Amino acid sequence: MRLFWKLFCSMVAMTALACSIGGFLLIDGQFRTGLAAQADTMVTEHIILRRMLLREMQLSRSFGQADAAKLAEDTAASLSRSGARFLLSDGAGHVLSGSPLPAASRLSTALTETQLGWEVLQAGDRFYLHAASPLTTEDETVFLETWREADTLFSTRQTQYNVFFYLLVGLVLASALASAAVSAWITRPLGRLSEAARQMAAGELSRRVEACGSDEVAQLSRDFNQMAERLERHVDELTDTARRQEDFLHAFAHETKTPLTSIIGYAELLLSRPAQPQLVQESAACIFREGRRLEGLSRKLLDLFVLEKAGISPRPTEMLPFLDRAAEALRPTLEQSGIRLEVHTEPGTANVEPDLMESVLLNLLDNARKAVDAEGTVLLEGSPVPGGYRIRVTDNGRGIAPEDLSRITEPFYMADKSRARAQGGAGLGLTVCQRIVALHCGRMEFESMLGRGTRVSVYLKGGEPPCGT
């Protein structure tokens, strides 16, 4: 059963049940109050008649059944004016005076000498209140019984039941309309949630639902939207990862195909013309160069694989001598290319793995070397910052286009492919650098302008272990 019908039927049923019970208790309470009032009136009249008989019996020693009957008849007129009737009978059930009962009763025989009781008698569709008590005379015990009609009380109760039934039917119909409106109002947000879930299952991950209010359904809508946002973000991340992996495979196949083609071509040339020494030397040089390129590519790929699988063991390192050593290691190469290296470092400590961080510095300095022409400048800076240490490598070379700047850390991505390949690049250096810095819980920032140069900033944590250690 749908939730709408569950709510609808539950509210209608509870309304009908509550009204039925309440109406029954109200009508029954009024009836019992009226019945008790009439019974009190009849019992009072019975007691008055009984006392009169007892008084006469006490005043006259020769007071017998005939005298009791005569006295009862004398008081009949006063009782009949109030609607009450009486019966005086002996122990054998013979009527001494008065009118017979409208229905058979065993009340008088069930009473003791000092008891007075009353009951409701029913004769067909008519009702009576009946009271009885024993009277002891000198000869024997007689029974005094009085009764009065109670049809009005019972007919009023039945009329109230009939009216209440029609009122209850109208109330149930009104509650059905109200329940339908309330059920629709409650289930409408759930319907929107269900529709949104179906659309998301069909692939529309941007679907959201409106969340108004602070009740449970609104909270469920907000939780659904939060789940949808995370799911969409994760799917986007997976899609981007799959795209990057596909690009990686395509780039890897392309990068390996070019040197292998050159190696195979020059090898065939050597086999076909072994008698030409100059050709042999040139071919061997090309084979050597392309082989070294493949070796560098495989080494970078191995570094990436190791960095993905292994952790690091950082330790507090003084950055001033560390940066100076790294700069001196690459200074001869830069000077040989006619490039001036400037170093401006300040004392400070960072938690690093020295060998891996040295690889980052050498890659950044080598990239700066490839980006500048002769008589260019490469600047290496190091300075403490709040919470860690900052390393900067700045060059005044060609710069990087804005559309390339966000992709330079992707594997095999090269802004200037022909120049990078001519200088032995494979587009993996910055990828390795970024992964190493990430393992240190640091970050890399790139700033560049075409024709004016590039600046790479590396922010490292200082004085505390990196994440994951």
Who wins on pLDDT, 312 or 441?
A: 441
pLDDT per position as a tens digit, 383-439: 999 989 999 999 998 888 888 777 787 765 655 544 444 444 445 678 778 888 888
| pLDDT for res 433 | 82
Is 177 contained in some domain? no
Is 19 contained in some domain? yes
Do 217 and 241 belong to one domain? Answer: yes
Residue 290's domain spans which residues? Answer: 213-310
The domain boundary, picked from 310, 326, 353, lies at: 310
Do 7 and 156 belong to one domain? Answer: yes
The number of distinct structural domains making up the chain is 3
Do 122 and 101 belong to one domain? Answer: yes
Rounded distance between C-alpha atoms, residue 419 and residue 332, angstroms: 22
In terms of C-beta distances under 8 Å and separation of at least 24 residues, what long-range contacts does 41-44 make, across chains too? 41/82, 42/84, 42/118, 42/129, 42/131, 42/146, 42/147, 42/148, 43/116, 43/118, 43/131
pLDDT higher than 80, residue 165: yes
pLDDT higher than 60, residue 146: yes
Please give the average per-residue pLDDT across 351-370, as a whole number: 84
The domain boundary, picked from 310, 339, 370, lies at: 310
Residue among 119, 93, 124 nearest 107 (CA): 119
Residue among 180, 182, 186, 170 nearest 16 (CA): 170
pLDDT higher than 90, residue 26: yes
Is 181 contained in some domain? no
Is 80 contained in some domain? yes
* Residue 236 tokens, joined: 């986007």
| pLDDT for res 421 | 45
Is 167 contained in some domain? no
CATH of the domain at 18: 3.30.450
| pLDDT for res 425 | 47
Do 285 and 298 belong to one domain? Answer: yes
| pLDDT for res 77 | 55
Q: What is the 3-state secondary structure (H, E, C) of 282-315?
A: HHHHHHHHHHHHHHHHHHHHHHHHHHHHCCCCCE
Is 278 contained in some domain? yes
Please give the average per-residue pLDDT across 106-126, as a whole number: 86
Which residues, other chains included, contact 329 with Cβ-Cβ below 8 Å and sequence gap of 6+? 358, 362
| pLDDT for res 221 | 82
Do 45 and 145 belong to one domain? Answer: yes
Do 156 and 7 belong to one domain? Answer: yes
Amino acid at 312: I
Do 13 and 127 belong to one domain? Answer: yes
Do 369 and 421 belong to one domain? Answer: yes
CATH of the domain at 455: 3.30.565.10
Eight-state DSSP code of residue 239: H
pLDDT higher than 80, residue 276: no
Is 385 contained in some domain? yes
The domain boundary, picked from 310, 331, 346, lies at: 310
Do 71 and 124 belong to one domain? Answer: yes
Rounded distance between C-alpha atoms, residue 63 and residue 54, angstroms: 10
DSSP calls for 23-91:
HHHHHHHHHHHHHHHHHHHHHHHHHHHHHHHHHHHHH-TT--HHHHHHHHHHTHHHHHHTTEEEEEEET
Do 22 and 150 belong to one domain? Answer: yes
Is 168 contained in some domain? no
Please give the average per-residue pLDDT across 222-235, as a whole number: 86
| pLDDT for res 469 | 45
Do 242 and 285 belong to one domain? Answer: yes
| pLDDT for res 457 | 94
Average pLDDT, the chain: 80
Do 273 and 340 belong to one domain? Answer: no
pLDDT higher than 60, residue 464: no
| pLDDT for res 82 | 55
User: Could you give the percent of the chain with pLDDT greater than 70?
Assistant: 80
pLDDT per position as a tens digit, 27-75: 999 999 999 999 998 888 888 888 877 776 666 555 555 555 566 566 5
